[in-house]
Amino acid sequence: MYISIYITDINNVLVFEQLLNPVAPSFNELWSKLQNLYPDISGDNNDKATCSSIFSNDKYINCRLGKNLELYRYCSNVNKLYFWCLVSGRLNSKEQLYPFVIMEELEQSLMTYFEKEELTITKLVNNYDRISLILYWLFDGGEPTVGKRYNNWIKHNIPSKYDFSKVINNTAHNIQIALQKSQKQQSNFPYQDMNFDSNVAVPWRMRNVDHVNNELYLDLVESIHVVLETKKRKSSYANSTMKIVTGNIIGKALVKSVLNGNPIVEMKIDMAGNDLESIFLHECVKSKDVDKDQEFENTKLIKFLPPDGSFKLFDYNINLNTTENTKKEFNAFNNRLGLVTASFEDGIGMKNDEFQLTLNISNSTKVQSIQNLQIEIIFLPKFQRSEEDLFNSSKNEANDDSINKEGINNLSKNNSDLGKVDYKIKMLRSSHGRFENSLSPNKCSWIFDKETNVGITPVLTGCVEYTDKNPNKKMILSHILLNYSYNGELASGMKIQSLEIQSGLKAGKGKSLFKGVKYSTTIEELKLRSRKI
């Protein structure tokens, strides 16, 4: 049973609380209990090594506060808020995921209700009453309601753009009319004529929605997570020795529907040869309505009756661990790794202490620039290996005399020994962007402007400067991490061929139907590493 919901900022200052049960503690009482159980949670103790790890900055955490009391916390990276949930009763391993799902749904419901891409503390405080009503709508008797969690039902029953005094007066007036009508009919059920479902076309949409204009917006968003590996010190995507260790494209289709009536939308998607391994559809899409176009084999048809407002139509996953057959069929994997091709080389120069990074930003007729390009450069001592390679290495390699086992153990301790090496990573020259050193001596960053034009080849040259002429430990470039984004096309090559309204659309009072489609790609993490160091 859910007994309370709390929302705090990242400093654990209360923003909102809803006590679903009379015996539920306030957040101040709960926080005092937490401080008694975990004294270091407030951060006052300088010895932070003893602080309980469950209250780290992890996105999902839970802890037990008593025999039948558990606390769950969900960290929202988008809104910089903590959502807390107090649950009574023991949950099994599968049920322990439910509170996190509930809190994520609550966050999405609030963002959809207020039509905001980000929730602010001011917004939550100023709408305390509405949020309370939303939670009363989402929970019944300490359990999540079934069939009433749709955003259109919430908006219909908890209007956001009207004074609540009018809502209360109208509700009282409607109840009075219903009572009078029931007394005349001498009915024992005074509310039998108040059919809640009479205005519902489908569970996720009200009947005959009315807007001034008809508008339909579709955003296709993809994020890339790839780890590439090469056996050579000179590393680039073009190398025959390059292989994908792991790679995925995670995509989603976000829709904003402002359509009158009960429209049936048909969407044709050019799949660009991609095989969607796992696709999760909104319930407004029937599985039988997702099929291949009879005329075009590589086109997928999707029909749906959209909810009113913003929602996620579907999300999908594309596996980039290509086989030889898929390479031949779809022209290898590198056309799905974004617009930026990176390569690095170290051990160059007269003293073999220089390194060079080269980026090739491809031209595109649909993309004018890429945003927030940043490359993180990581060095490790020559006798160490990357952490992934240590797990995958064979026993023979593990016994190699060139590997310093003491150094490997230190590597697993967040590179604590690296600061003892007398060296500094310096930039010699750069054609674009700026160079920044990190607090960790073995890391540095190559940071570009907010927008970088396509069709250029930036080059960065640097060196590792040692205090001693003959250092005991030499640093070599282990791997680089790329992050950037761009709008105009998807890394997978998928695109919308058509977006049409088949039936059920009522003419708007103003302009005709407006449709908009937007593509955006984000390289969350592209890691290029050498296999041996």
Q: Which DSSP symbol is given to 55?
A: G
pLDDT in tens, the chain (533 residues): 888 999 999 888 999 999 988 888 899 998 888 888 877 665 444 333 333 334 444 678 878 787 788 888 999 888 999 999 998 877 776 777 888 888 998 998 898 888 888 899 999 999 998 899 888 888 888 888 876 677 777 877 787 665 555 666 666 666 767 666 655 554 343 333 333 345 566 788 887 788 888 889 999 999 999 998 876 555 555 444 567 888 899 999 999 998 888 888 989 998 888 877 778 888 888 766 566 554 445 778 888 999 888 889 999 999 887 544 455 444 444 567 889 988 888 888 888 888 999 999 999 889 999 999 999 999 988 754 444 444 454 343 334 333 344 443 444 344 444 445 578 899 999 999 999 998 888 899 999 999 999 999 999 999 988 888 777 778 888 899 999 999 999 999 999 998 888 887 776 555 567 788 999 999 998 999 876 54
One DSSP character per residue, 504-533 reads -PPPPSSS--EEEEEEEEEEEEEEEEES--
Taking the mean position of all CA atoms in its chain, how far away is CA 366?
25
Query: 476 with 347: CB under 8 angstroms?
Result: yes
Q: CA-to-CA distance for 273 and 249, rounded, in angstroms?
A: 14
pTM beyond 0.75: the answer is no
Given this model, what pLDDT does residue 294 score? 46
User: CB burial class (10 A; 0-12, 13-18, 19+) of residue 511?
Assistant: exposed
Angle at CA 523, nearest 5°, toward 459 and 113?
A: 140
Q: CA-to-CA distance for 66 and 454, rounded, in angstroms?
A: 58
Among residues 16, 19, 248, 43, which one has the least CA distance to residue 126? 16
Query: 373 with 484: CB under 8 angstroms?
Result: yes
Residue 20 falls in which region: left (phi positive, over 0), alpha (psi -120 to 50) or beta: alpha
Helix/strand/coil for 177: helix
Phi, psi of 314 (to 5 degrees): -165, 160
What the chain holds in terms of domains, given with CATH numbers, is 2-157 (3.30.450.60), 215-332+491-525 (2.60.40.1170), 340-487 (2.60.40.1170)
Q: In the structure encoding, which two tokens stand for residue 329, read together?
A: 């069929």
